[in-house]
Chains A and B, each alone.
Chain A
């Protein structure tokens, strides 16, 4: 599903964010990216949906070299990759329902599809009763659920999560992880960057550890360190 071949990313001023990274992630896998701040986790995630271009090396997503993708095709790549962020990135002037519907609307899905898909996904994330609320009326955990609903409503092949529990307390984080686990069980490949030791140690999934841009460990059913 995802393959990195000798991928490096150097930012201006010779800041090496990723150094000759090699890895392959199969369909349906759940992968944690761990490592200290600035080790390259976020860069790796941003490379996968082409928010960043690698300085060298090749990246394959769903069998396609995304470096060769012309820019007008990038949106179609992103329709297959859901994204969840630490700061949720919800639109504060839209309700929960509208936030999720927005993701379908802007990729041109017909209204009847939106009308059935959005309530279904809100049911899945357990927010059916809050669909008319605005994001600032929700707790952090609830907001992250909305964000996950928005990322998953289009049933993407891959879900990228960049520290989705970074702003949440441990109990709430467990709920979010249950949700991501459930999404993973539908066959969606999940790649999650995290600092949360207890989550990694409890879930026992594949762990890729980064340090100053290099992959220093790739372990099936791994722990934080």
Chain B
């Protein structure tokens, strides 16, 4: 079967131009859909970067009561040392703590004048064997209830909150994205079907003079593919812009410093772009194949 390239190009462009409003609607829907899909990929990558960054060297600090006796202090130390889930502990004594304190409140003289080294709790810096957030949280909760412990502080809660937020965002976007994917597929399907309906007389004649189904089908399938590809390209552009925008946002204020590990690198963007393009092709080919299949039954 020889398919004339000229013929195919001419017919495809004619189809696209004939339903210009539907064509534009499909392209825009595909664009929005795939922009969201791209964003999902980026958010997912960002969340992964975030957790992996914090997962190395998650440690927590066990503050001991300031007026604790030596024996009690030894008890806390033994309890930490004997815990199989604790890898390493470092004791931070009064002088060190005070040094840290002075560093932290540098320039705030009233604070420095009123607090002496004796007012500050000493602490243990604890590195757990596993850096998994839940494990760390369990340890934190356990030591909070131990006698002689003043307070336990860990970054796990913040990480957990961030992770929870990004998971929520991710899930929301995924549901949203899936719905939009369905809408795009249906819209492409309908655009192609409308094009075929508009040309049903030509299709009838083609079938009667012995044009093969593929010959009839190809221009319509290409029509769907072109819509998918244009929408996909726009979405790829959007993903690039979105990355720069997020980067700018993170750079702008220290308030967002915490989000810094959330930043995605160009590899992640490339991944998002590839995902977007592949989905664009699969989506449009599938829906236009479906559209052309039923119509050709005679």
Contacts and interface: CB of A to CB of B under 8 A. Distances in A.
Nearest to B3: A108
Nearest to A93: B202
Given A89-B204, A106-B206, A108-B1, A51 B211 contact: no
B197 to A, nearest CB: 15
Among the interface residues B4, B212, B215, B298, which one has the most CB atoms of the partner chain A within 10 A?
B212
Contacts, number: 57
A134 to B, nearest CB: 14
Contacts of A51: 208, 298
A108 B207 contact: no
Contacts of A155: none
Contacts of A91: 201-202, 205
**Considering the complex of A and B, which 9 residue pairs feature the smallest CB-CB distances, nearest first?**
A79-B210, A78-B210, A106-B211, A108-B2, A103-B209, A75-B210, A75-B212, A106-B206, A83-B208
Contacts of A107: 209-211, 215
B90 interface: no
Contacts of A5: none
Interface string A66-97: 00000010011111100100000101000000
Interface of B: 1-4, 7, 201-202, 204-213, 215-216, 298
Interface of A: 49, 51, 72, 75-80, 83, 89, 91, 102-103, 105-108, 110, 150-151, 154
B19 to A, nearest CB: 15
Nearest to B214: A72
Nearest to B6: A111
A23 B69 CA distance: 116
A106 B218 CA distance: 12
Nearest to A51: B298
Nearest to A82: B209
B211 A75 contact: yes
A108 B201 CA distance: 19
Nearest to B298: A51
B208 A49 contact: yes
Contacts of A76: 210
Contacts of B205: 89, 91, 102-103, 150
Nearest to A150: B209
B201 A79 contact: no
Among B2, B3, B208, B210, find the residue whose CB has the most chain A CB atoms closer than 10 A: B210
A89 B202 CA distance: 9
Contacts of B4: 105, 108
Nearest to B215: A106
Q: Which of A83, A106, A107 is the most central at the interface, judged by chain B CB atoms within 10 Å of its CB? A: A106
Contacts of A106: 7, 206, 209, 211, 215-216
Contacts of A154: 209-210
B2 A78 contact: no
Nearest to A92: B201
Contacts of B206: 102, 106
B18 to A, nearest CB: 11
A103 B204 CA distance: 11
Contacts of B216: 106
Nearest to A153: B209
8 contacts: A75-B210, A75-B211, A75-B213, A91-B201, A102-B209, A105-B7, A106-B216, A151-B209
Contacts of B202: 91, 102
